[in-house]
Structure 1
Amino acid sequence: MNLTNKQKQHLKGLAHSLKPVVMLGGNGLTEGVMAEIDSALAHHELIKVKVPSEDREEKSLIMDAIVRESGAVKVQTIGHVLVLYKPSEDKKIELPKK
């Protein structure tokens, strides 16, 4: 799924007030964490995931893996926070037209 710049800007505005719903711990990206991300995406459509890592490359690889495994669209990254969007069946968030 590809988003236009207008749609990404809209999602960034909606995500601004959100707090991270999933935070990776010392074990990193586990099956349990991925299950929680999938559950949160199905329920909210737009979520923030906090990836605390000192190593930039490691953080980038973890974020890429989350996007790939969840099937969501990366809206943006801000520091250690990844913003993801994945529309659900009942489409809670209305995106602007392309």
Structure 2
Amino acid sequence: MDVRQLRAIGFFYRQLCPVTLPVSILLWSLGRSRVESPDSYQFFLTAFVWLRILLQLIIYYLHRLLNGNHLTFYQNLGLSEGKLYLSASLTDALVCLLLIHFTGY
């Protein structure tokens, strides 16, 4: 991946970040407040990951539905839709994990 593709992924993620990051943080906050034991924490982590993946897919589907024609810019840079959405999802997961870790929540 070259610098232009990384910048394009960053630009694409900045379009989705105002929706995906608050959803992840809200989901974490609501679930984390209900964890009482280590067993329930393991269940919470599993449920959090699967719900987050499901919500990411819904958000990306709606984004693609509403902005389908605007992905030509990224395709001209050699980024397929799958690579673009996967990179944005991994970036969002990394940012979410860093926020959770550094806020101590």
Q: Which has the higher helix share?
A: 2
Structure 1 and Structure 2 fold alike (TM over 0.5): no
**Per the shorter chain, which TM-score range?**
0.3 to 0.5
- Calculate the TM-score normalised by the size of structure 2: 0.36
Higher strand share: 1
Radius of gyration: which is bigger? 2
